[in-house]
Chains A and B, each alone.
Chain A
Amino acid sequence: MKTTSQVDSVPNAAQPVIEARALNLVFGSGATSVQALKDINLTIDKGDFVSFIGPSGCGKTTFLRCIAALETPTGGSLTVNGMTPEEARKQRAYGYVFQAAGLYPWRTISKNIKLPLEIMGYSKAEQDRRVAEVLELVELSGFGGKFPWQLSGGMQQRASIARALAFDADLLLMDEPFGALDEIVRDHLNEQLLKLWARTNKTIGFVTHSIPEAVYLSTKIVVMSPRPGRIHEIIDSPLPKERPLDIRDSAEFIEIAHRVREGLRAGHGHD
């Protein structure tokens, strides 16, 4: 097994997609202040699939929100494609998938996917082309004319992923996207997500509560611990990029899962 490290896994000249140095975030001030993130150092390279795992309050979602410029760090530095998160947003650097699909009930699936495209000012023809493309990518072709309530929870979440993919962001940020779905649907979506990742070569930041999900999907697993939220350990996965579902029964997989579990337990012991 490789040992954990906080050193860039690929020390080449390519610019990292995300680089956090001594990142801190404190909510509130005075006696009631909460340190949500403490001294986060992390580098994510192009094409990485990085999972953030940890108990509630460990700051995994907060860190993702910092990358998306939905929260503002109070210390340290954070760059996305070498820019500030705000600038990166203006460059349409990332798509964000929330825990709930959050589709607008008054728009059809196609119109929901068009929402970011309309806002970003794509032409009508380009909108139609992209919608067809991403619907195919998440295997929802033929459902474009349906309203969200006519789809199952898993299909709605796929539609929300399609919406995040529609405008060609190289970075996909996913905050427990499958947390509300049942195990079977979740397995299926995990498999689909890996295929999509292989096809599109995107960089993915993925928050989860589930150890098997994190190990199955990731090239890099960031184990976090709470109060204050910090990185406990970064585990580089030796699993090949091609991952059938039954890889989860292999000795290697179980070994990594074990390490993640140990890391979570040790991290929890701090408080």
Chain B
Amino acid sequence: MKTVFSVLTVVAGIVVIWYLACVPMNIKGVLDQAQRAGEKVVPDTANARRDAAALGLVAKNTFAINRVWSVDRPRLPAPHQVVTELWQTTVMKKVTSKRSLIYHAHVTLSATLLGFALGTGLGILLSVGIVHSRVMDMSVMPWAIVSQTIPIIALAPMIIVVLYSIGVQGLLPKAIIAAYLSFFPVVVGMVKGLRSPDQMQLDLMRTYGASGGQLFWKLRLPSSMPYLFASLKIGIAASLVGAIVGELPTGAVAGLGARLLAGSYYGQTVQIWSALFAAAILAGLLVALLGLVERTLLGRMGVKS
């Protein structure tokens, strides 16, 4: 109960700050509109207003304050505008409609999940190699780290262009970008996890004359599970970011990234914000789902939670 209260307090605080921020952000637009409608505004030219401080404009034109939360194309949409847009583009639209956020989320989610599966698989394979081979440890790990220092926004168009030139398009290029972001936390976490058994546990397996395979399946892999899930939670969120970024450079027509892009072309800030929220909610659901799988699996493995 106490936690619920604390969480609600923080949420309420954020909403209040958001509403307050709408005032200086949107005041110029509101005043321009008011002037066009023939109302008296201080100062009375758009040029003068452009250079004026936002808070000063608010002080001089208090009559306009209550309009900043219902602007048609606001710089910063008010929370209720975003919620209304979310409601209308999810519940009120058929999921097959091109304007349904659920449809767009589904497109992005497919690429996210495929990319996540590819990235996790690659990450686990690499970590197994790194743990078992010193050569791989020395040679692969630096490249894995370097790969993550390149901004994905620079790399994504190249990946898409290169794949397009060899005839691959659609879901796969986006999934590969998602995989590119999600394999790294899995590699780092699994290397740590596979190396987590202490010397005594390794010695114990040696006294049984365990083979390398037995050592891996019976000791290293089970030991690494808590690390794997921590990595997967980071990985799936990174995957979603990758899928969205993958939709930007192609001018894709479907997906949350496409919604973001279209929104920014046409100045539809409400649409941008609702797409952002859809992405955030989606990421939250995916991470929560992984948490559920983690609790079930580790619970069955007898790990105290």
Contact = CB atoms under 8 A, between A and B. Distances in A.
B304 A149 contact: yes
Contacts of A94: 207
A118 B218 contact: yes
B201 A70 contact: no
Interface residues of B, number: 19
B204 interface: yes
B303 A105 contact: yes
A135 B302 CA distance: 20
A98 interface: yes
A206 interface: no
A239 interface: no
A120 B214 CA distance: 10
Interface in A101-160: 102, 104-108, 115-116, 118-120, 147-149
Interface size class of A (residues with CB under 8 A): 20 to 34
B301 A70 contact: no
B203 interface: yes
B203 A70 contact: yes
Contacts of B225: 106
B302 A115 contact: no
Interface string A235-271: 0000000000000000000000000000000000000
Residue from A94, A104, A118 with most neighbouring chain B CB atoms (10 Å): A104
B209 A119 contact: yes
B200 A102 contact: yes
A96 B200 contact: no
A149 B298 CA distance: 14
B122 interface: no
Nearest to A70: B203
Contact of A90 (B209, B214, B301): B209
Contacts of B219: 104
A189 interface: no
A116 B203 CA distance: 13
13 contacts: A94-B207, A96-B204, A98-B200, A98-B203, A102-B204, A104-B219, A105-B303, A106-B222, A106-B301, A106-B303, A115-B208, A120-B208, A148-B302
Given A95-B207, A98-B200, 17 more contacts: A69-B206, A70-B207, A90-B209, A92-B209, A96-B204, A98-B204, A102-B201, A104-B219, A104-B222, A105-B302, A106-B225, A107-B302, A115-B218, A119-B208, A119-B209, A148-B302, A149-B302
